Amino acid sequence: MESNNMHAFTLIEMLLAIGVAAMVLVAVNAVLFAALRLHNATTDLVDSANPVDQTVTFLRRDLECVVTPTNGTTKVLSGDFKTGNVSTPGIAVPVAIEMFTATGALSDNAPWADIQRVTYELKPSGNPSYAGQDLVRSVTRNLLSLSTPDVEDQLMMSGVASIKFSCFDGAQWQDTWDTTSTVTIDTNLPVAVRVDIQMAGNNNPQPIEMVIPIDSQSRTNMVFNAGTGN
């Protein structure tokens, strides 16, 4: 008679196997959640950096393509350049800068010139849980409109405490600039513009600072008179 001697797992072996499997699962779970936390932190960092990069890109492009002002009373497609506490038609709050820049793109919905009026201003945040205000870029495309032109607001980023534009006249930095002023001689564009953006919040992060040189300059501040040829 042939005996069937089959070896079975003992209770101790089963407990040891379950214990080892449990330790492996705990280790895998710790690695998985550490990876998830790292992913979430990286995503939050990238999401917070995207608005800053977008704002810097738009600001630099607008200032680099700014149009020189035209002296005289008729300023249709070549408007003024102003910084400081500026009142602008169509915008309820004072703006930090107003400029005419050749950054407009033609499309079926916007078949106008590439010159557009651009302002940057702070407005109350749409989300009350956010600290600070919203930095808004307001664009007016149809400069030849016979009625009040439409102003398109573009949200750049939230959580901004303050924004300041300083203009370099070749010798020193000026807090305000107005090419329409009859008191000062700032009838031309500044040599460079410095932008300082301070973010809100308890951590008080480092401000966003950049300096953009202005290459577009008028040759003269004299008013052209077609009648005299001067």
DSSP letter for 72, please: S
Instruction: Read off the tokens for 4.
Output: 């069937």
Q: H/E element holding 20?
A: helix 11-64
| Residue 7 reports pLDDT greater than 70 | no
* Residue in 147, 54, 149, 65 with CA at minimum distance from that of residue 99: 65
pLDDT tens-place string over residues 172-190? 999 999 988 766 556 788 9
| Residue 46 reports pLDDT greater than 60 | no
Q: H/E element holding 148?
A: none
- Which region among 23-32, 142-151, 173-182 has the lowest average model confidence (pLDDT)? 142-151
| Triad 166, 167, 172: Cα angle to 5° | 105
- What gap in Å lies between CA 167 and CA 81, rounded to an integer? 11
Percent of the chain at pLDDT exceeding 70: 73
Give the pLDDT mean for 39-43: 64
Confidence (pLDDT) at 123: 92
| Residue 57 reports pLDDT greater than 50 | yes
Phi, psi of 64 (to 5 degrees): -70, -25
Confidence (pLDDT) at 184: 58
* Residue in 63, 55, 121, 111 with CA at minimum distance from that of residue 87: 121
- What gap in Å lies between CA 80 and CA 74, rounded to an integer? 11
SS3 190: coil
pLDDT tens-place string over residues 97-132? 999 998 887 666 666 668 889 999 999 987 777 788
DSSP letter for 66, please: B
